[in-house]
Amino acid sequence: MPTRQIEVTTWYLEQLSSDELRPARAPEVQFDIVRAEIPSPELSRYLYTAVGGDWYWTDRLGWSHDQWRNWLSRPGVETWVAYVRGTPAGYVELDPQPDGHVEITCFGLVRPFIGQGIGGRLLTVGTSRAWDLADRWDDRKPTERVWLNTCSNDGPSALRNYQARGFRVYDVTVATGTFGHNPPGPWPGAR
């Protein structure tokens, strides 16, 4: 596959108080958001490729089952999944860090569910769960900061959604990356 150099802008965003969260209104589509309480490398890898395959999410594609399990089994790591009529529609993954910081490491929707208002509501719930993470985990310091990053390779509505939920940009970087002509898609390795 031919590769090309692409200039990628990365925005780093944060909230420093739960009062900064601006909830999205509930969409007309009925859906549930459920925490996947049992660490499941299979589920998380599926969500990672199904959501991120169109946006060059490749960092974890080479992870082994053990690497996925070790990542997901760390105390405080949480995966919240949106389901529409029993079908996974998207997810948000939370990674607790020292000093009361929580990173939203993954967030997004499976392509057929984009544009229905689910993303704003899922981000609202995921951010709320980041703010109250210490309520569910012993030995966790209360959350003082929720942060994430997004880049120009992510979905076109990602940055707007984060800012609409009250996240503020605190840093921007621009770098050149080498990418295949197309993102790997939700079926990496399939012919």
Q: Tell me the mean pLDDT in the region 12-18.
A: 98
Pick among 3.40.190.10, 1.10.10.10, 3.30.110.40, 3.40.630.30: CATH of 3-180: 3.40.630.30
More confident residue, 113 or 181: 113
pTM of the predicted protein model: 0.91
Q: Which SS3 state, helix, strand or coil, does residue 67 take?
A: helix
User: What pLDDT is stored for residue 156 in this prediction?
Assistant: 87
164: pLDDT strictly greater than 60: yes
pLDDT tens column, 105-156: 999 999 999 999 999 999 999 999 999 999 999 889 999 999 999 998 888 8
Predicted confidence band of residue 190 (pLDDT cuts 50, 70, 90): low
Per-domain residue ranges of the chain:
3-180
191: pLDDT strictly greater than 60: no
5: left (phi over 0), alpha (psi -120 to 50) or beta: beta
Query: Under a CB-based contact definition with an 8 Å cutoff, are residues 9 and 151 in contact?
Result: yes
Cα Rg, the chain, nearest whole Å: 16
**Torsion over CA: 133, 134, 138, 139 (sign):** positive
List the structure tokens of 16.
């420093």
User: What pLDDT is stored for residue 153 in this prediction?
Assistant: 85
**If residue 70 lies in a helix (H) or strand (E), which one and from where to where?**
helix 65-72
**If residue 17 lies in a helix (H) or strand (E), which one and from where to where?**
none
161: pLDDT strictly greater than 60: yes
User: What pLDDT is stored for residue 54 in this prediction?
Assistant: 86
* Cross-strand pairs, 54: none
pLDDT tens column, 64-121: 999 999 999 999 999 999 999 999 999 999 999 989 999 999 999 999 999 999 999 9
Query: 84 CB contacts (<8 Å, ≥6 apart)?
Result: 29, 30, 31, 113, 118
User: What pLDDT is stored for residue 186 in this prediction?
Assistant: 67
